[in-house]
Amino acid sequence: MGMGGVIDFLFFASGCYLIYTAISAKKNKTIAANVMLSKNTNEKDIRDKVGYIDYMYKKILFAGVLICIASVIHLANDYYIHSQTLTWVGIALIFAALVIYVISFSRGQKQYLTQVKGQNKQSKSK
């Protein structure tokens, strides 16, 4: 397996992890901090935990599925098909998954997390 295959396998594993995280969050009402929260926040900062999980569930699941599909396309293409078009299809799927995840993450943070500490200081000074 060449370096491309290793990278494709790592993408597949990360897609599976996103799928696992989404299903685990929905089923167990737990939040994977490394996927669903930014570095400076924790679960206590979430105003509506169930609402946040419901909001993020489908988006993380969909992003994970897209990444898994893209990595399978790349692996098949690298070793059997050798199509430049499929290479770009895989790249487009990964890019779409990243855009969906980043936009959903940003909106979810704004909608479901308490105000950032710096914003609280500004409101106190008024």
Report domain extents, the chain: 3-125
**Is the Cβ–Cβ distance between 60 and 104 less than 8 Å?**
yes
pLDDT in tens, 27-78: 999 898 889 998 888 888 899 999 999 999 999 999 999 999 999 999 999 8
- Tally of CA atoms within 13 A in the half-sphere of 8 that contains its CB: 19
pLDDT at 107: 95
Which residue's entry shows tokens 């290793």? 6
What is the pTM for the complete model shown?
A: 0.85
Q: Average pLDDT, whole number, for the chain?
A: 89
CA dist., res. 7 & res. 22, Å (int): 23
Please name which of 44, 49, 53 lies closest in space to residue 24, comparing C-alpha atoms. Answer: 53
